[in-house]
Structure formats: C-alpha cells, structure tokens
Homo-oligomer: A and B are copies of this chain.
Amino acid sequence: MAKLKRSERIAALVKLLADRPGHLWSLSQFAERFATAKSTISDDLALIKAVLDQEGLGTIRTYPGVAGGVSYEPRMTEAAAWQLAEELAAQLRDPQRILPGGFLYMTDLLFTPFWVERLGALFATRFRAEEPDLVATVETKGIPLALMTARALGRPLVLLRRDSRVTEGPSVSITYVSGSSQRIANMSVPRRAVPQGARVLLVDDFMKGGGTARGMMDLMREVGARVVGLGVVIATAEPARKLVEDYFAVAVLEGVDTVRRQVRIRPSLGR
C-alpha cells in the first residue's frame, strides 16, 4: 500500500477518530498504521483538533503519560444546542402530532438516527464532566437516544427492563410507582450489567411525574451504582413538583390543547 500524503493521512485519521468517539488511541498505533513518525501524527492531530474546534465539530482530547493517547469527543456548542432545542420544539408544535388524550407523537424523531445522534451529542456534552462509566435507560422509546449518548461518550449502554428476561441471567428488580398514572410497575436489570460503584448517566425520552426516573434511580442504588446525571428530551411543565429534583431537559412541554389543536412547548436546556 502506498504511503499516504499528509492530507490523505489526515482524512483517514479524522475518519478513524470520528467512527469511535471516546475511544483512546495511542499515537504509536497511528504511527504504525500510517508508517510515519509519532511526531508527525502528533502534528496531524493538532491540526485536526484546531479545525474541529473552529468548525464546531467536536474536539480531540489528549491524555498524557504512558497509558495516554488521543480521543475524539463529540461536543455541541451552546449555540448549536439551542438551535437543536428550537428545532425540536418547532417540530413538536405541528398539530398533526397531537394524539387523543393530549399525547404527542414523537416516535419518528426518537427513531431517526440524525435526531438522536444530535440529542446524544448534547447529553454527552452536558454530562461528560460527571465522568459516567455507562449510560442507562428503561425500555423502549428512549433506547436509540441512550445508545447515541453512550456512543458519544464512548461508553456502553445498559437497558433496564420492565420485566426480567430468562435470556439475561440473574437480575435485580424493584417495584416503583409510575408518577403520572400511579400504577405499580416493575423494573429490572441483569446483575452482571452494572459493576459495583459504576457511575451511571440516566437518559429517557419523556418525563411527566418523574416516577420512572425515580424507579431508575432506586434500581441503580439497589445494584450499588451511583447516578451522576439524568437527561430527558421532553419534561412536562406540570406537575412542577416531580419525584426527581435534579434533571436536564432539552424542552419543556407546557400543554397540549386538543380542542384548539395547539402544542405549547419551549426550548429549555435545563429544568
């Protein structure tokens, strides 16, 4: 294979880095692959970092030392985050999304890669400093979102189930009260999926009373994990007092008027 020119090597490097967010690459690994000096790779990475930073396309983080290396981190600028939240709110204001009972159809967004990828990058940007070891969600609609958050952080995803499955081995389960409907429900996780002391970022698509989020937290405590953050796409304005206090919502749903066919929703990027 012909040795690559600089711009060619940079193209390949960007592709490798972008394909695996959060993965720690050693400079020697790259130097070997591209048959060049580590100092050359180092220069390439400095250029890549500068461009990504300038263009708002994420960043390259360097970890010094023997076990060090470099890693690509998706990062969303404050401006891009607000733009995404605005775009989301605008989409959800479409009266065609109103379902009987005042529910909003949002499954299409939650299952479109480009939407969940950006939302995942937003959650990753917001919670990276909390150094989560893994991302968890409860089935079902939040799974793509949680996966993309996990991908952006370079961490695995753990799925909490509404019942325990024979194909997942010994599991830990709790019962919780769904905040809005006051139903008692079950939530479980395979014992081997969450290591003792793991730092867990919780992600979900929608939060009303916070009962499910409370359940996720209780289950995490039960398996000896530590919840370091909770991110949801949409939180409702009411009830204002939810079963969890500390959370991050991309947008707040203030109300759905099924008669006038109006959806009141606002970007939030906070509580």
Contact flag A11-B139 (CB < 8 Å), given A105-B167, A157-B144, A159-B111:
no
Interchain nearest-CB distance for A55 vs B (Å): 5
Interface of A is mostly: helix
Q: A64 an interface residue at 8 Å Cβ cutoff?
A: no
Q: Is the CB of A113 within 8 A of B7?
A: no
Nearest CB on B from A13, distance (A)? 8
**With contacts A99-B168, A167-B99 known, is A52 near B11, CB below 8 A?**
yes
**For residue A206, which residue of chain B has the nearest CB?**
B167
* Copies of the chain in the assembly: 2
User: Out of B10, B144, B168, which one reaches A147, CB within 8 Å?
Assistant: B144
Residues B113 and A150 in contact, CB atoms below 8 Å apart? yes
The chain B residue with its CB closest to the CB of A118 is B19
* CB-contact partner of A103 in B99, B148, B167, under 8 A: B167
Q: Does A65 contact B (CB under 8 A)?
A: no
Chain B residues contacting A18 (CB-CB under 8 Å) are 14-15, 18-19
| A143 touches B (CB below 8 Å) | yes
Residue of A15, A20, A168 most packed against chain B (CB within 10 A): A15
Q: Is A166 an interface residue (CB 8 A)?
A: yes
- Check A8 for interface membership: any CB of B closer than 8 A: yes
Question: What sequence of 0s and 1s flags, for each residue 245-270 of chain A, a beta carbon within 8 Å of any chain B beta carbon?
Answer: 00000000000000000000000000
User: Which residue of B23, B111, B117, B168 contacts A114 across the interface (Cβ within 8 Å)?
Assistant: B23
A16, CB-defined interface residue at 8 Å: yes
**1/0 contact string of A64-101 vs chain B (CB within 8 Å):** 00000000000000000000000000000000000111
- C-alpha gap A16/B14 in the complex (Å): 10
Measured CB to CB, the nearest residue on chain B to A1 is: B54
CB neighbours (8 Å) of A1 from chain B are: 54
Q: Does A51 contact B (CB under 8 A)?
A: yes
With A and B bound together, what is the CA distance between A113 and B100 in angstroms? 36
Cβ of A37 < 8 Å from any Cβ of B?
no
Decide if B58 touches A168 in the complex (CB within 8 Å).
no
Asked whether any CB of chain B lies closer than 8 Å to the CB of A215, the reply is: no
Interface residues of A in 136-180 (CB under 8 A from B): 139-141, 143-144, 147-148, 150-151, 154, 156-159, 161, 166-169
* Pairs A–B under 8 Å by Cβ, sample size 7: A10-B14, A23-B114, A99-B167, A105-B167, A112-B156, A147-B147, A147-B148
Taking Cβ atoms with an 8 Å cutoff, the residues of A that contact B are 1-2, 4, 6-8, 10-12, 14-16, 18-20, 23, 47-48, 50-52, 54-55, 57-58, 99-101, 103-105, 107-108, 111-114, 116-117, 139-141, 143-144, 147-148, 150-151, 154, 156-159, 161, 166-169, 190, 192-193
